[in-house]
Chains A and B, each alone.
Chain A
Amino acid sequence: MADFQTPQMKEFPIIPDLQNDATSHLSPFIAKPNHNEDIGFPGELVDNWEEKAIDKMGDLLGKYRSLRVYLDSCVKCGACTDKCHYFQGTYDPKNMPVARQDLLRSVYRRYFTFAGKFFAKLGMPGIVGAREMNREVLDEWYSYFHQCSQCRRCSVFCPYGIDTAEISMAAREIMDSIGHGQKYCNEILGKLQKIGNNLGLPEKALKATLAEFEEEIEDETGVEVRIPIDEQGADVLLITPSADFFAEPHIDGLMGYAKVFHAAGVKWTLSTYASEAANFSMFIGSYSNMKVVAERIRKAAIDLGVKRIIVGECGHAWRVAYSFWNTTAGIGSGADENDVYAQQLQKQLDHSYPIPQHICEFTNDLIEKGELNLDKSRNDHRVVTFHDSCNVARGSRMGTTPGGQFDIPREVIKACCNNYVDMEPETIREKTYCCGGGGGLLTDDLMEIRVKGALPRMEALKSVVDEHKVTNLAAICAICKAQFAKVLPYYGFPMDMITSTHQLVKDAIILPGEGEGNDDDQEENED
């Protein structure tokens, strides 16, 4: 394993003593010129970047009320200081949300506030916490704004709802605008915009993979379940993270969706052009990139003539889909009469279903209507707990009532399993802890921060493992799944504990016609 110490799990989390600069050495690889240029940013750190960064900050201050209000309003009350999982795992004070904000706020105060300018003239900017923009500041931004997974836990606890995610997005956008981008996010976004998914999987490979999954399901159930792609005139377009096509445990989730669609008799399709739900543009704060990516989905929906759009298991993708698709691409309802852009798509879609709809909403509706034949006992070898993914929990919703995003996935799981337990109330639902790998941190160069940031979730998990013999940690986010598969072993858990929520559905569901014609399989199952 790596050259850092996995933090000790404690039974009762404590607020650690500060360790200055404990993770100042951690920053991700810098993007290569083509990574930046491919998505519209300068290739390398530009001349006069100090000035240009300040200009960009001014631009963003005029465009985002959140930034404006949040930079002014913090009273340094300290309520957020102990709420960030990266602080809890690293003890580095700059990972306290307010301190992270201050890295940007100090520059804001220096250049955009009367107090900052005034005390800078007197030679004492520090009185009001103002700082010059310089290399040291830029390096600090690069490190610590890439040690924020933009999970928004801090925002739940701040008396003004100050959302550090908004600040770290702005900081990353400023850095991108001066040619100081992060490799992982920018490279992925380039691939997505060129090929259609984060991995750069070409059409052929995609189709071959789906054919394999079809075979696998047939081998297992004896039922022919199709996983269609690019099918003109399907009712439903499924947009899912590309990890669902190749990674463990994601693929089991995909096979789960396929079985559910099959059982419901819904005509559905994937799209090669829009074969990615993830939209890393949000992580780098880039509205224009986010729009470009969302428009691919819009185009796919129009081209394929679908009536509904359903999103697979992915956390930030669901936030973007639920909260931002309507805004950026008109994928939703309620566009003005004269909003030609959005009208085109909105006329085509069937508004008796939510647009977009989450796969858990879809499955849960079927469960409520009694349209799925689920055999819970098929999951009896498991004791399951659920990890609320941060972007679903704090940035989006499901169903028709506030908080539906907490209940619906749990309902789905409980309909498929007899053994379900929740983790500590302080660590789930809107107070959930990030897996440690969100926000564009899911890269090997940030392994140390990923492992340390996972600490609070691992502690909560350990307590249900010890008390209730939990065997599976279900999630509905591609990043959470990938992160946990990597990080669980650091804490002594088996990596295959992490489970796609729809894998539980996949295992419990009895397909129409299943077992007919191959009685042997049936008997085996019943044993």
Chain B
Amino acid sequence: MSFLTGFYALLFYTATVLFVVGIGYKIRQYATTPAPLKIPTTPAPITTSGVVVRMAREVVLFESLFRSNRWIWVFGWMFHVALALVLVRHVRYFQDPVWELIVLAQPFGKYAGFAMIAGLGGLWARRIFVERIRYITNPSDHLILALLVAIGVSGLGMKYVAHTDIVALKSFMLGLMTFSFKPLPTDGFLLIHLLLVAVLMIIFPISKLLHAPGVFFSPTRNQADNPREKRHVAPWAAELDK
């Protein structure tokens, strides 16, 4: 096994562990922290199924963002949908044989990379040119954007500039999953791409990327509005009743 293959194998194992454990830890923390009061932002659904629909609209369509700022919505939604398509497309590197659905998604995924970068570009431009958004921006916000753009660009580079040996890459990936290591192709774009993806996975649980699990735990959005009908008491608050 070459040094490079070994390094990337180790990097991906580390990144995966940190990602899974980190996100798992955070999700557990969110789930176990009580929400002592009913605080849904109204008008809120009064049933659990209503909450599921509300949440789905938020997660899939970014409904609240749509109502608040059309430009942020356009760029943000474009980026996220493109990212989702790209991720779906990438599933094929981890499967043999590849699911039918993933095969069907390939042609869309191909162009989604461009949409992703365009969306990110729009968001970044707002961050630089709109005074209010510039004011609330930290250096880390630029760094995350830079990281995502670099991941997108290097990914497109592999496809459109210097073609990577996809067959070899796939066998490396499948190898990682079965602990039977296969050599990693040594293309520049690929190495950068993989390195940055690993970095993204590592910083995910310690950065604002936590909005991904966080959105599901937001009490203003995920609570049913039924406080008159059902007594809602958190364990620490129940102590006060005694």
CB within 8 Å of B: which residues of A?
Answer: 15, 17-18, 61-66, 68-70, 72-83, 93, 96, 98-99, 102, 113-115, 126-129, 152, 155-163, 166, 287-288, 291, 322-324, 326-328, 330, 332-336, 339, 341-342, 354-356, 393-397, 401-403, 405-406, 430
B104 near A: Cβ within 8 Å? no
Query: Which residue on A lies nearest to B205, using beta carbons?
Result: A114
Q: Is the CB of A96 within 8 A of B136?
A: yes
Q: Is the CB of A114 within 8 A of B215?
A: no
Once the chains are docked, how many angstroms separate the CA of A74 from the CA of B210?
Answer: 9
Given contact pairs A17-B131, A82-B132, A128 touches B138 in the complex (Cβ within 8 A): yes
B41 near A: Cβ within 8 Å? yes
Once the chains are docked, how many angstroms separate the CA of A96 from the CA of B134?
Answer: 12
Given contact pairs A127-B138, A322-B228, A397-B225, A327 touches B214 in the complex (Cβ within 8 A): no
Partner of A115, one of B29, B206, B234: B206
Q: Is the CB of A129 within 8 A of B233?
A: no
Query: Which residue on A lies nearest to B29, using beta carbons?
Result: A68
Q: Is the CB of A62 within 8 A of B135?
A: no
Q: Is the CB of B220 within 8 A of A161?
A: yes
Given contact pairs A76-B137, A326-B227, A326-B228, A152 touches B41 in the complex (Cβ within 8 A): yes
Given contact pairs A159-B62, A160-B214, A166-B39, A75 touches B208 in the complex (Cβ within 8 A): yes
Partner of A430, one of B35, B43, B140, B211: B43
Query: Which residue on A lies nearest to B66, using beta carbons?
Result: A159
Q: Is the CB of A65 within 8 A of B30?
A: yes
- How many Å from the CB of B221 to the closest CB on chain A? 4
Which A residues touch B34, using CB under 8 A? 63-65
Which B residues touch A355, using CB under 8 A? 228
Which B residues touch A77, using CB under 8 A? 65, 69, 72, 76, 123, 133
Q: Is the CB of B139 within 8 A of A335?
A: no
Known pairs A115-B203, A332-B228. 8 more at Cβ < 8 A? Answer: A78-B130, A96-B132, A159-B58, A160-B211, A323-B227, A339-B233, A395-B41, A397-B46
- How many Å from the CB of A291 to the closest CB on chain B? 6
Could you tell me the dominant secondary structure of chain B's interface residues?
helix
Residue among A18, A158, A159, A163 having the largest count of chain B Cβ atoms under 10 Å: A159
Query: Which residue on A lies nearest to B31, using beta carbons?
Result: A65
Q: Is the CB of A161 within 8 A of B227?
A: no
Q: What 1/0 flags go to B204-242 for Cβ under 8 Å of A?
A: 001110110011011111000101111111101100111
Q: Is the CB of B65 within 8 A of A159?
A: yes
Which B residues touch A333, using CB under 8 A? 228-231
Given contact pairs A161-B41, A323-B38, A334-B231, A63 touches B135 in the complex (Cβ within 8 A): no
- How many Å from the CB of A85 to the closest CB on chain B? 15
Which A residues touch B141, using CB under 8 A? 76
Interface size bucket, B side?
A: 35 or more
Q: What 1/0 flags go to B12-54 for Cβ under 8 Å of A?
A: 0000000000000010011001111111011111100010000
Which A residues touch B240, using CB under 8 A? 287-288, 291
Q: Is the CB of A115 within 8 A of B130?
A: no
Which A residues touch B65, using CB under 8 A? 77, 79, 157, 159
Which A residues touch B127, using CB under 8 A? 78
Which A residues touch B208, using CB under 8 A? 72-76
Q: Is the CB of A74 within 8 A of B211?
A: yes
**7 A-B pairs with least C-beta separation:** A73-B214, A157-B68, A161-B220, A78-B133, A402-B43, A129-B138, A403-B43
B110 near A: Cβ within 8 Å? no
Query: Which residue on A lies nearest to B209, using beta carbons?
Result: A75
Once the chains are docked, how many angstroms separate the CA of A113 from the CA of B76?
Answer: 26
Partner of A332, one of B43, B69, B231: B231
Which B residues touch A129, using CB under 8 A? 138, 140
Query: Which residue on B lies nearest to A346, using beta carbons?
Result: B231
Q: Is the CB of B42 within 8 A of A115?
A: no
B186 near A: Cβ within 8 Å? no
Given contact pairs A93-B132, A395-B42, A72 touches B210 in the complex (Cβ within 8 A): yes
- How many Å from the CB of A196 to the closest CB on chain B? 21
- How many Å from the CB of A289 to the closest CB on chain B? 11
Q: What 1/0 flags go to B112-150 for Cβ under 8 Å of A?
A: 000000000001001100111101111111010000000
Which B residues touch A356, using CB under 8 A? 228
Q: Is the CB of A162 within 8 A of B218?
A: yes
Which A residues touch B140, using CB under 8 A? 115, 127-129
- How many Å from the CB of B165 to the closest CB on chain A? 36
Query: Which residue on A lies nearest to B44, using beta carbons?
Result: A402
Given contact pairs A15-B132, A96-B136, A155 touches B220 in the complex (Cβ within 8 A): yes
Which A residues touch B95, using CB under 8 A? none
Q: Is the CB of A63 within 8 A of B64?
A: no
